[in-house]
Chains A and B, each alone.
Chain A
Amino acid sequence: MTKALDGIRVLDLTQWLQGPVCAQYLADFGAEVIHVERPVSGDGARGVRSIKALAIGDWNQYFQVINRNKKSLAIDLKNPEGQELFYELVEKSDVLLSNFVPENLKAWGLTWEKLRERNPRLVFATNTGYGHAREINRPSYDINVQALTGLMTRQGEPGEPPIYLGMGSGDTYGGLMSAFGIMVALHQRRRTGRGQYLDASLYGAQLFMAAPTLQPFLASRAPERSRYSMQQSRKGARNPLWNCYRAEDKWVFLCLANTDDNWSLLCRSLEGSELASDARFDSAEKRAEHNTELIALLDELLLGRRAGEWIESWRSLGIAAAPIQTMKDLAEDPQAWENDYFLKAHCDEVNREVEIRGLPITLSKTPGSVESLGPELGQDTELILADVLGMDWDRIGELKERGVIP
Chain B
Amino acid sequence: MSQALEGIVVVDLTREFYASLAGALLGDFGATVIRVEDLADPHEVDHDRNGMHPPERWNSLDELAHRNKQSLAVDLDQAEGREILSKLVEGADVFLTDLPSATLDEKGWSYEGLCERKSDIVLARGSGFGPRGPDRDLLALDELAAARTGAMPTLPEPGQPPVYSGVGQMQTSVMLALGIMLALHHRDECGEGQVVDASLFGGNMYSQSLDLQAYLAIRDDRFLEPLSRLDSGNPMSGPMYPSDDGRWVTLAMPDTDKYWPSFAEVVGLEADDPRFDSHEKRCGENRLLMMQVLDERFRTKPGSHWKRELDARQLPADVIETYDYPASDSNAAANRYILDLEHPTHGAIQSLGFPIHMSEGTARLRRMAPCVGQHGAEILQERLGYEDDRILELEAEGILGAGSRS
B358 touches A197 (CB 8 A): yes
Q: How far is the CA of A326 from the CA of B352 in the complex (A)?
A: 33
Q: Which of A162-186 contact B (CB under 8 A)?
A: 162-169, 172-173, 176-181, 183-186
A186 touches B185 (CB 8 A): yes
In the assembled complex, A322 has its CB within 8 A of some CB on chain B? yes
Q: Which of B14-46 contact A (CB under 8 A)?
A: 17, 21, 25, 29, 46
In the assembled complex, B261 has its CB within 8 A of some CB on chain A? no
The digit string for B224-250, where 1 denotes a CB below 8 A from any CB of A, is: 100101011100000010100000101
Q: For A209, what are the chain B residues with a Cβ–Cβ distance below 8 Å? A: 167, 170
Q: Which of B137-180 contact A (CB under 8 A)?
A: 139, 141, 143-144, 146-157, 160-167, 169-171, 174-175, 177-179
In the assembled complex, B207 has its CB within 8 A of some CB on chain A? yes
B170 touches A208 (CB 8 A): yes
In the assembled complex, B356 has its CB within 8 A of some CB on chain A? yes
A205 touches B355 (CB 8 A): yes
Q: How far is the CA of A246 from the CA of B159 in the complex (A)?
A: 12
- Chain A interface residue count, CB cutoff 8 Å, equals 146
A341/B201 contact (C-beta < 8 A), A54-B220, A354-B217 known: yes
Q: Which of A305-355 contact B (CB under 8 A)?
A: 320-331, 333-336, 338-339, 341-342, 354-355
Q: How far is the CA of A61 from the CA of B164 in the complex (A)?
A: 27
CB closest chain-B residue, reference A354: B217
B174 touches A180 (CB 8 A): yes
Q: How far is the CA of A173 from the CA of B319 in the complex (A)?
A: 23
In the assembled complex, B267 has its CB within 8 A of some CB on chain A? no
Contact of A323 among B147, B164, B321 (CB under 8 A): B147
The digit string for B71-83, where 1 denotes a CB below 8 A from any CB of A, is: 0000000000000
B335 touches A201 (CB 8 A): yes
Q: How far is the CA of A22 from the CA of B196 in the complex (A)?
A: 19
A342/B360 contact (C-beta < 8 A), A133-B331, A148-B318, A204-B355 known: no
Q: For A388, what are the chain B residues with a Cβ–Cβ distance below 8 Å? A: none
Q: For A334, what are the chain B residues with a Cβ–Cβ distance below 8 Å? A: 133-134
- Chain B interface residue count, CB cutoff 8 Å, equals 144
In the assembled complex, A366 has its CB within 8 A of some CB on chain B? yes
A216 touches B318 (CB 8 A): no
Minimum distance in angstroms from B109 CB to a CB of chain A: 15
The digit string for A178-212, where 1 denotes a CB below 8 A from any CB of B, is: 11110111111011101011111101110111111
Q: How far is the CA of A197 from the CA of B359 in the complex (A)?
A: 5
Q: For B258, what are the chain A residues with a Cβ–Cβ distance below 8 Å? A: none
Question: Which of B49-57, B285-293, B384-392 lies at the binding interface?
Answer: B49-57
Minimum distance in angstroms from A11 CB to a CB of chain B: 18
Q: For B360, what are the chain A residues with a Cβ–Cβ distance below 8 Å? A: 188, 192, 194, 196
Question: Which of A1-9, A73-81, A389-397 lies at the binding interface?
Answer: A1-9
Q: For B202, what are the chain A residues with a Cβ–Cβ distance below 8 Å? A: 339, 341, 360-361
B147 touches A185 (CB 8 A): no
Contact of B151 among A51, A56, A151, A166 (CB under 8 A): A166
In the assembled complex, A147 has its CB within 8 A of some CB on chain B? yes
Q: How far is the CA of A320 from the CA of B198 in the complex (A)?
A: 21
Contact of B361 among A185, A210, A215, A219 (CB under 8 A): A185
The digit string for A130-148, where 1 denotes a CB below 8 A from any CB of B, is: 1111101001010110011
Q: How far is the CA of A169 from the CA of B355 in the complex (A)?
A: 16
Minimum distance in angstroms from B123 CB to a CB of chain A: 9
B356 touches A199 (CB 8 A): yes
Minimum distance in angstroms from A32 CB to a CB of chain B: 15
In the assembled complex, A44 has its CB within 8 A of some CB on chain B? no
Question: Which of A83-91, A152-160, A377-385 lies at the binding interface?
Answer: A152-160
In the assembled complex, A107 has its CB within 8 A of some CB on chain B? no
A176 touches B206 (CB 8 A): yes
In the assembled complex, A400 has its CB within 8 A of some CB on chain B? no
The digit string for A229-266, where 1 denotes a CB below 8 A from any CB of B, is: 11010100111101010100011110101100000000
A196 touches B212 (CB 8 A): no
In the assembled complex, B262 has its CB within 8 A of some CB on chain A? no
CB closest chain-B residue, reference A342: B216
B60 touches A163 (CB 8 A): no
Question: Which of B94-102, B124-132, B373-381 lies at the binding interface?
Answer: B124-132
Q: How far is the CA of A135 from the CA of B334 in the complex (A)?
A: 11
CB closest chain-A residue, reference B172: A360
In the assembled complex, A119 has its CB within 8 A of some CB on chain B? no
B320 touches A218 (CB 8 A): no
Q: How far is the CA of A16 from the CA of B364 in the complex (A)?
A: 31
Q: How far is the CA of A370 from the CA of B212 in the complex (A)?
A: 18
A288 touches B51 (CB 8 A): yes
Contact of B190 among A2, A150, A185, A229 (CB under 8 A): A2
Minimum distance in angstroms from B34 CB to a CB of chain A: 19
A218 touches B327 (CB 8 A): yes
Contact of A155 among B48, B165, B201 (CB under 8 A): B165
A366/B186 contact (C-beta < 8 A), A211-B352, A320-B139 known: yes
Minimum distance in angstroms from B371 CB to a CB of chain A: 18
B359 touches A238 (CB 8 A): no
A362 touches B196 (CB 8 A): yes
CB closest chain-B residue, reference A166: B208
Minimum distance in angstroms from B133 CB to a CB of chain A: 4
Query: Considering residues A112, A163, A178, A323, which has the most beta carbons from chain B within 10 angstroms of its beta carbon?
Result: A163
A163/B163 contact (C-beta < 8 A), A150-B325, A253-B144 known: yes
Q: For A143, what are the chain B residues with a Cβ–Cβ distance below 8 Å? A: 250, 252, 318
Q: Given known contacts A141-B252, A190-B188, A215-B351, what 7 new A-B pairs fall within 8 Å (CB)?
A: A180-B356, A188-B4, A205-B355, A217-B327, A218-B350, A251-B162, A335-B136
Jot down 29 A-B pairs with beta carbons below 8 A, ordered by A: A2-B186, A53-B222, A61-B216, A62-B214, A131-B331, A131-B337, A133-B331, A150-B321, A156-B160, A165-B207, A166-B155, A169-B167, A169-B207, A169-B208, A172-B210, A180-B177, A184-B29, A187-B181, A196-B361, A322-B143, A327-B149, A327-B224, A339-B201, A356-B213, A360-B199, A360-B205, A363-B182, A363-B195, A366-B182
**Measuring CB to CB, which residues of chain A are less than 8 angstroms from any residue of chain B?**
2, 4-7, 17, 25, 29, 51-57, 59, 61-62, 65, 112, 130-134, 136, 139, 141, 143-144, 147-157, 160-169, 172-173, 176-181, 183-188, 190-192, 194, 196-201, 203-205, 207-220, 224-225, 227-230, 232, 234, 237-240, 242, 244, 246, 250-253, 255, 257-258, 288, 320-331, 333-336, 338-339, 341-342, 354-357, 360-366
Closest 9 CB pairs of A and B: A239-B51, A219-B60, A327-B150, A131-B335, A238-B51, A183-B181, A339-B130, A212-B166, A360-B202
